Amino acid sequence: MDEATFAVAGRALSIAEWDVSHRFCGKCGTPTQLVAGERARRCPADHTPYYPRISPAVIVLITRGDQMLLARNATFPEPFFSTVAGFVDPGESLEETVLREVKEEVGVDLKNVTYFGSQPWPFGRSLMVGFMAEYAGGEVTVDGKEIAEARWFNVDDLPRIPPRLSIARHLIDTFIDRVKARQSPSNT
Ligand SMILES: [Zn+2]
């Protein structure tokens, strides 16, 4: 699937999921009605509006010199290594989520956390907010349940990584390009 088709299909999937999951008011159980002129459903009894819900999540590429720390999630249907990701908790800033998720999942501290870009992700109706961050300390440790293992990888010795179209892959490819540019300055 190309990027444009993926974006359109993802948008359609998210809206269709919202529509079927908000047929009744969450407060009083009355069937909701579509609102004319905007993408919303509304309860006719207490007027509560229901808009498509988006769940923000952060996704972080952790680097140390020319290496990156990638983790293998135990729930992936097929084994591959990827960046660390997690949903934003209520009351949390994106920066706080980055530090908390990375500490929880792989046990390390970060510095120089910088925004990379974002990508709507239809599965889980999420908006993935990507960051690059540098390793600042701590020992790599995983819980063995959610994260099966996490390891440092050199850019020329990578495991199986996420497919194209994912922001995880964009993060990894961008870092590889930066390292290669550093290693062969005549090419820049
Ligand atoms: Zn209601």
Ligand 1 centre to CA of 124 (Å) is: 25
CA distance 186 to 188: 6
- What confidence score (pLDDT) does residue 94 get? 97
Residue with tokens 């990156």: 68
pLDDT of residue 187: 54
Res 159: pLDDT = 92
The CATH number covering residue 160 comes to 3.90.79.10
d(CA 32, CA 178): 51
Same domain, 128 and 153: yes
Q: What pLDDT is recorded for position 79? A: 84
Question: Does residue 188 sit within a domain?
Answer: no
pLDDT less than 70: residues of the chain: 185-188
Residue 33 CA to ligand 1 center (angstroms) comes to 11
The model carries a pTM of 0.87
Domain residues for 40?
A: 3-50
What is the spatial distance between Cα 14 and Cα 153, in angstroms, rounded to a whole number? 35
Q: Ligand 1 is a single-atom ion; what residues have CB below 5 A from it?
A: 25, 27-28, 30, 43, 45-46
Ligand 1 centroid – CA 49 distance (Å): 9
Q: Tokens 């020992």 — which residue? A: 139
The pLDDT tens digits for 113-157 are: 999 999 988 777 889 999 999 999 999 999 888 899 999 999 999
Overall number of domains in the chain: 2
The pLDDT value given to residue 1: 75
Please report the pLDDT score of residue 128 as a whole number: 95
Q: Is 138 in the same domain as 107?
A: yes
* Alpha carbon of 40 to ligand 1 centroid (Å): 14
Q: Are residues 168 and 131 in the same domain?
A: yes
**In the structure encoding, which two tokens stand for residue 130, read together?**
């990507």
3-state secondary structure 138-175: CCCCCCCCCEEEEEEEECCCCCCCCCCCCHHHHHHHHH
Please report the pLDDT score of residue 81 as a whole number. 94
